[in-house]
Structure 1
Amino acid sequence: MDDVTDTQTKPTSAGFTLTTGRTRGYHPAAVDTFLAAAKASFERDDDALSAEDVRLASFPMVKNGYAVAEVDAALGRIEDAFAARVRDRAVRADGATAWVEQARSEAQVILDHLARPKLHKFARVGWLSYGYRAEEVDHVARRIVRYLRDGDELSVEQLRSAAFRMQRGGYREEQVDALLDATIEVMLAVR
């Protein structure tokens, strides 16, 4: 993404602002197709798409694309809706106590992982490769632990927008991303 933020002031029919100038945005047709599929799946009340599918959605970057922040915010709301539906189904089927126990169990797995020593919480890439900057990931990890263990403030949006600089020999991206996804799932489960 470019740091330039000049955008049109007129939203498109989809409700998203189009980028202009050097700023790139999400490919409109790709976003529209995904959103139509998500809407259809939600309205049919089927499992064609899940909250995780929404969280992992990605789109090509193009000139005159949809403003990234606006689409990401919409995807966050859609993910929340899918997660709430799953939670409601599970509570109706198994009861609230079972749902809370499952969330607690998943939270404990995350806490156990994050109990590893500082700068050793995740596997590292080789010294010639780049991975997430360990100190930055550990900072977010401390916030997650304080949220899960002590009830400190942390929002799903903060985790969704977490970004890390790269460093040689850093943490493996896929492991960090998987833990962030698992934490988001726990947070959505108890909302």
Structure 2
Amino acid sequence: MTSETVDDAARDEQRPSAFRITMGRERGYHPAAVDTFLAAARESFESDGSLTAYDVRIASFPLIKNGYAVADVDAALGRIEDAFAARQREQVVRSGGVEAWVGDARSKAQEILDHLARSRKHKFARTGFLTFGYRVDEVDHVAGRIVRYLRDGDDLSAEQLRSAAFRMQRGGYREEQVDALLDATIDVILAVR
């Protein structure tokens, strides 16, 4: 994604009609919070680079009535994250060469594979019996898809991982560990595009 694409996406998303507005009981992202973040992302992309693809990925906004439609904003954020990742890749390749970039991506991929080599239902730390965490079987299913992507080259997109959602269960996997692994996998996917 080029800087023109980020500019166009940010400009489009800042127009009042860029995102659908939720109606009725449906809640959406707070428009002012989204608009402020998009303006900061555009400024960062054009100048100082203080934001990264990861910062875009973890952006969150309050939910309110008559807010921006969540799916629309999330799709725009995905495109902006892709642009930041592409810029980061270009910078690293320019300074360290393609070998450095590929070596880093391979190293991250191997760390993920090593972590996911743990046995089924034991891939991540668990919450206490009375505490809720991500549902183990659902996380293990996604973990299997990640392994097949990294090891065998099966299809898996960053968007699929961005939209992964897990139901909760008592004694489930710790959310922060699962989220960190999903983030690392998204980084690898974006690195090899």
TM-score range, shorter chain: over 0.9
* Letter of the 1:155 counterpart: S
Q: Percent identity?
A: 75
Q: Structure 1 CA distance, aligned partners of 2:92 and 2:50?
A: 17
2:189 is aligned to 187
CA apart distance, 1:48: 1.2
- The residue correspondences of 1:44-63 to structure 2 (distance < 5 A) are 44=47, 46-63=48-65
State the alpha-carbon separation in 2 of the partners of residues 99 and 33 from structure 1: 32
| 5+ residue gaps, structure 1 | 1-11
Question: Comparing both structures, which one devotes a greater share of its residues to strand?
Answer: 1
Q: CA RMSD in A?
A: 1.1
Structure 1 residue ranges, 4+ long, deviating more than 3 angstroms after superposition? none
1:28 is matched with which residue: 28, 31, 41?
31
Q: Gapped runs of 5+ residues in structure 2?
A: 1-14
Distance 1:175 1:107 in 2: 16
Distance in 1, matches of 2:28 and 2:145, equals 31
Is 2:103 aligned against 1:86? no
Report the TM-score when normalising by structure 2.
0.91
User: What secondary structure sits across from 1:17 in the alignment?
Assistant: coil
In proportion to residue count, which structure has more helix?
2
Contact 1:136 1:164 in 2 (8 A): yes
In the TM superposition, what whole-angstrom CA distance separates every residue of 1:82-109 from its partner, at most 9, and x where no partner exists?
Answer: 0000000000111111110110000000
Tell whether 2:22 aligns with 1:19: yes
